[in-house]
Amino acid sequence: MTTEPAAPQTGPQTAPQTVDLAAAYEASGVREVLKELDDTMIGLAPVKQRIRETASLLLVDQARRQLGLATETPTLHMSFTGNPGTGKTTVALKMADLLHRLGYVRKGHLVTVTRDDLVGQYIGHTAPKTKEVLKKAMGGVLFIDEAYYLYRPENERDYGQEAIEILLQVMENNRDDLVVILAGYADRMDRFFDSNPGFRSRIAHHIEFPDYSNEELLKIADVMLTEQNYTLDPAARTAMADYIAARRGQPHFANARSIRNALDRARLRQANRLFNEAAGPLDGTALSTIAGADILASRVFRGGLDVDRKPAKEAAE
């Protein structure tokens, strides 16, 4: 017979005395989000690392609450800075999922807006517009793309200021049900924070999205095509590598978004080619293979600009 040491008599149990972080991690579903992030997003090592750290911080925060050590809701507002097409919007979606699984937002949806969605053209229009957006975003994440356009100091009667004041108030008062992510170019965001210290002080997490290397962009092309059941044949793969090197030096280069656009056009050319060349039935391989010619027909190889100049918002869809 074994004798257990007597449990310490602590009187009425109010809070547990220990927590199992590993069990909390497993139960939260955070592992799945982090795995999906790893599996679907090429590169971004520093971003992935920051997201893992944020997840750990929040799991520890929850553990501290269970032990009665933490009382305040942590500040979760963030800034995502980097050039266009570096994955900010895509990662924001995953962040919303993560915050939802950890119980920091009720619904976990992402509402993406720009200045025009928040700021009105006429007096009296801005407050209702901003409040409507905030209402939609409650319980989730509000992603403000190119947030610095809210602030236009050169325009003394700019309604952006009104939107800013409402946002700042809600970011403070509704911290337990709304997370705001400000996104855009790093240098402009810095200047925006300099002129709007209220935002800087409310944002706890600044995450920087680096440009992708040529090798990463080629891998991204592979991932995108695989998702659509297409492949590059060896000549197309070589051509794509050359395309990436040339495209990077041209105006309006937008990292992974330029790759997505280039592949859209390559599929168009492939379809044309199949129509023009096919003399008989086509098999699955023929229908799914991008050939060298489909890439090499791009204007990028003729010293011209590729058609890649859609406004950021439209192109992001």
| Interface residue list for ligand ADP (CB under 6 A) | 41-44, 82, 84-90, 220, 223, 256-257, 260, 316
Residue 62 sits in the site that holds Mg ion (CB under 5 A): no
d(CA 148, CA 114): 10
Compute the least distance from the CB of residue 315 to Mg ion, in Å: 9
d(CA 91, CA 37): 8
Write down the H helix ranges in 1-125: 21-28, 30-40, 45-66, 88-101, 115-118
d(CA 14, CA 63): 15
Compute the least distance from the CB of residue 290 to ligand ADP, in Å: 17
Strand order in the sheet with 110-113: 110-113, 141-145, 179-184, 78-82, 205-209
Site for Mg ion in 86-105 (CB under 5 A): 89
Report the partner that residue 42 touches, choosing among ligand ADP, Mg ion, none (CB closer than 5 to 8 A by kind).
ligand ADP
Write down the H helix ranges in 67-196: 88-101, 115-118, 126-137, 160-173, 186-195
Residues in the chain: 317
Closest to Mg ion by CB, 19 vs 316, is 316
Residue 315 sits in the site that holds Mg ion (CB under 5 A): no
Report the partner that residue 160 touches, choosing among Mg ion, ligand ADP, none (CB closer than 5 to 8 A by kind).
none
Angle at 161 between CA 160 and CA 163, to 5 degrees: 65
Closest to Mg ion by CB, 280 vs 311, is 311
Contact 136, 109 (CB under 8 A): no
Residue 241 sits in the site that holds Mg ion (CB under 5 A): no
Report the partner that residue 289 touches, choosing among Mg ion, ligand ADP, none (CB closer than 5 to 8 A by kind).
none
d(CA 316, CA 254): 11
35's CB contacts (< 8 A; 6+ apart) are none
The residue sitting closest to Mg ion, measured at its beta carbon, is 89
Report the partner that residue 270 touches, choosing among Mg ion, ligand ADP, none (CB closer than 5 to 8 A by kind).
none
Report the partner that residue 202 touches, choosing among ligand ADP, Mg ion, none (CB closer than 5 to 8 A by kind).
none
Report the partner that residue 164 touches, choosing among Mg ion, ligand ADP, none (CB closer than 5 to 8 A by kind).
none
Per the DSSP assignment, residues forming a β-bridge with 94 are: none
Residue 316 sits in the site that holds Mg ion (CB under 5 A): yes
Compute the least distance from the CB of residue 117 to Mg ion, in Å: 14
Closest to Mg ion by CB, 143 vs 159, is 143
Report the partner that residue 140 touches, choosing among Mg ion, ligand ADP, none (CB closer than 5 to 8 A by kind).
none
Report the partner that residue 257 touches, choosing among ligand ADP, Mg ion, none (CB closer than 5 to 8 A by kind).
ligand ADP
195's CB contacts (< 8 A; 6+ apart) are 151, 153
Closest to ligand ADP by CB, 23 vs 45, is 45
Compute the least distance from the CB of residue 93 to Mg ion, in Å: 10
User: What is the signed CA dihedral for 219, 222, 226, 227, rounded to 10 degrees?
Assistant: 60
Q: For 294, phi and psi rounded to 5 degrees?
A: -65, -25
Pull the structure tokens for residue 11.
Answer: 């009187």
Compute the least distance from the CB of residue 145 to Mg ion, in Å: 6
The continuous run of DSSP H or E covering 113 comes out as strand 110-113
Compute the least distance from the CB of residue 258 to ligand ADP, in Å: 9
Residues near Mg ion, by CB under 5 A: 89, 316
